[in-house]
Amino acid sequence: MPTPVSADSPVLVIYTGGTLGMVETARGLAPAGHIEERLRRALASLPPGRQASLPAFEVLEIDRPIDSSSATPDDWQRLAALVAQHYRQHAGVVILHGTDTLAWTASSLAFQLPGLDRPVILTGAMRPLEAEESDAAANVEDALRFAVTPRLQEVAICFAGRLLRGCRTRKWRTRETDAFTSPNQPLLGERVDDEVVLYPGRGLADHQRGAPRFELADYAPLAAGGVVRLALWPGIQAWQLEAWLRDDRVRGAVLEVWGGGNLPDDPALAGALARASGEGKLLTALSQCPHGPVAFGAYAAGQGLAEAGVLSADDMTPEATFTKLVHLLALPLREEERRRRFLTPLAGER
């Protein structure tokens, strides 16, 4: 049964690093400590009415904050374990994370923490807490307020006043504060004036029932390159694909194909994919277009993918496709079950 949450339970804020907590140095932005003190000082600068609406929170800072561009599947695994260890004592969890791989971490957490019965929200900032015109305090404020919304029962990203499904989100802009988008899924909610609003019928809580059923697998065997990501380009050759896929360390691959799921008309390419698939490697294909799904067979050029045993990623993001492969390959599943689960929505990702 889901663990009851007291209305007085604080939110847990986990600080992992990123621009939000950095300070300016002679060599540029660099990680800095004392994050709780700095965070509370920044939130104290909000207008009194908005301060009064903030829930109580506690801060947990990981031992070694990282730049998110250095994050690995090992970091995703450790963070999921940390959430699983602490979430029962809190109304929700807010994770402060660097923006570069924030969508990757959110996607991985969605697959490791299925059946959540409270919010786990990731946020960060494009500018540090103390920087002029920083977006940090507003992002944390919104995330905290969404984190005590009982109807929100999944991993989400809160950024620039918008709430997006974690495994449907991509970083889309390098500098603007509205850096994230959800190309194939509508917003879960957003800030409207001074209120945070969840849109009915869009959250997983409207479609799932039951207790959390976390899957905290060992990602270590895959952390050193067990899954690869390959984008096709005009003129790609079979030997180039095989240079990746023949390596015994590679157990899965994300192929970014053209349009609705097309492959060059080259039997050698299809043969390379079929050999890898026949060896038990889990191959998936998604479109290089950010909007819309792949659908093998709409064109003759896509038949080779299906015949080679490549699985359709439908309208998933590259981040969700990659992290789902890592997760399924880390679980002790038979090959046919892995393939079935890849084609099944596990966290609203497809």
- The residues annotated as belonging to the active site are 19
Using CA atoms, how far apart are residues 211 and 143, in angstroms rounded to an integer? 23
Using CA atoms, how far apart are residues 187 and 207, in angstroms rounded to an integer? 16
**Cβ-contact 95, 121 below 8 angstroms:** yes
- In Å, how far are 19, 37, 103, 175, 179 from 100, measured between CA atoms? 10, 25, 8, 11, 10
Tokens of 120: 């786990």
**Cβ-contact 94, 121 below 8 angstroms:** yes
Long-range contacts of 223-228 (CB under 8 A, 24+ apart): 223/72, 223/73, 223/74, 224/249, 225/249, 225/250, 226/250, 226/251, 226/252, 226/326, 226/329, 227/251, 227/252, 227/253, 227/254, 227/322, 227/325, 227/326, 227/329, 228/252, 228/253, 228/254
Exposed (0-12), middle (13-18) or buried (19+): which is 52, by Cβ within 10 Å? exposed
CB atoms within 10 A of CB 133: 6
Q: Smallest Cα–Cα separation from 194: which of 138, 148, 147?
A: 138
Residues 6 or more apart in contact with residue 84 via CB below 8 angstroms: 113, 214, 216
